[in-house]
């Protein structure tokens, strides 16, 4: 057996194990709903699992059914399930539908998460200015959250605010230095600002080789643009 065959066999074994684990969890959650049909959290958990399995239509149907059952019983249940339905639409790439759901979440505990998902949904629609506004709002109560700081940085990068983007990437990486994607994108800001990006790209390649490889054409385009700009 070649090394490639061994890797493929290991990957298949890993996929099979995860599939079996998901099926077991699916059966357990269905049983929990049968045993305790008044627990809306179980519907949310089952919907999240279906999203992970990319069963978006089933997840949507489940969350809609749950909203029909629980929306009139408590605000917390309604908000949790609307947030869950928003996640279904987001993962399915239906960003406008996701935005409609996240906008209706009122629960204070879920609000920051809803703002984050609104930001990501507007990013999906390539509306980075609105996405940035929601990311900054999400950060008001979670200023040290590396995920939110990365989200802010991503949108600042998209609108061309490179120095500000670099600042937020630095904040994100201070809390989460093993984030290969953030390392790569911090390298992009360094390139644009004429700084040495070697260390960022080296870490990105080690931590997230797939994102690093996928970003090479983007990096080449930026470098070509900067070269042309210098020649003018």
Domain 143-232 has CATH 1.10.10.10: no
The pLDDT value given to residue 17: 60
State which CATH number among 2.40.50.140, 3.30.413.10, 2.40.10.10, 1.25.40.10 fits the domain covering 17-107.
Answer: 1.25.40.10
- Six token digits for residue 221: 């385009």
The pLDDT value given to residue 19: 65
Q: Indicate the domain borders of the chain.
A: 17-107, 143-232
8-12, 67-71, 171-175, 198-202: least confidently modelled range:
8-12
The pLDDT value given to residue 123: 97
Q: What is the pTM of this model?
A: 0.84
- Give mean pLDDT, residues 192-214: 96
Of all residues in the chain, what percent carry a pLDDT higher than 70? 87
The pLDDT value given to residue 120: 98
Q: Do domains 17-107 and 143-232 have the same CATH topology?
A: yes
Mean residue pLDDT of the chain comes to 89
Please state the three-class secondary structure of the chain as a single string: CCHHHHHHHHHHHHHHHHHHHHHHHHHHHHHHHHHCCCCHHHHHHHHHHHHHCCCHHHHHHHHHHHHHHHCCCCHHHHHHHHHHHHHHHHHCCCHHHHHHHHCCCCCHHHHHHHHHHHHHHHHHCCCHHHHHHHHHHHHCCCCCCHHHHHHHHHHHHHCCCHHHHHHHHHHHHHHCCCCHHHHHHHHHHHHHCCCCCHHHHHHHHHHCHHHHHHCHHHHHHHHHHHHHHHHC
């Amino acid at each position: 057996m070649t090394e490639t065959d061994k890797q493929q066999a290991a990957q298949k074994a890993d996929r099979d194990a995860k599939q079996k684990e998901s099926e077991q969890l699916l059966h357990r959650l269905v049983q929990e709903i049968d045993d305790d049909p008044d627990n809306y959290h179980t519907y949310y958990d089952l919907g999240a699992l279906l999203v992970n399995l990319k069963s978006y239509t089933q997840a949507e149907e489940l969350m809609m059914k749950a909203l029909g059952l629980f929306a009139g019983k408590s605000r917390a249940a309604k908000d949790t399930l609307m947030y869950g339905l928003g996640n279904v639409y987001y993962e399915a790439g239906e960003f406008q539908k996701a935005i409609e759901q996240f906008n209706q979440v009122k629960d204070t505990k879920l609000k920051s998460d809803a703002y984050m998902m609104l930001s990501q949904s507007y990013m999906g629609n390539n509306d980075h200015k609105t996405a940035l506004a929601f990311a900054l709002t999400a950060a008001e109560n979670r200023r040290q959250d590396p995920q939110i700081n990365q989200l802010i940085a991503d949108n600042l990068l998209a609108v061309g605010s490179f120095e500000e983007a670099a600042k937020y990437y630095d904040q994100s990486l201070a809390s989460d230095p093993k984030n290969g994607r953030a390392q790569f994108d911090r390298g992009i800001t360094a390139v644009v600002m004429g700084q040495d990006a070697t260390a960022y790209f080296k870490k990105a390649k080690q931590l997230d080789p797939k994102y690093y490889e996928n970003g090479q054409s983007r990096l080449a385009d930026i470098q070509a643009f900067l070269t042309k700009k210098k020649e003018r």
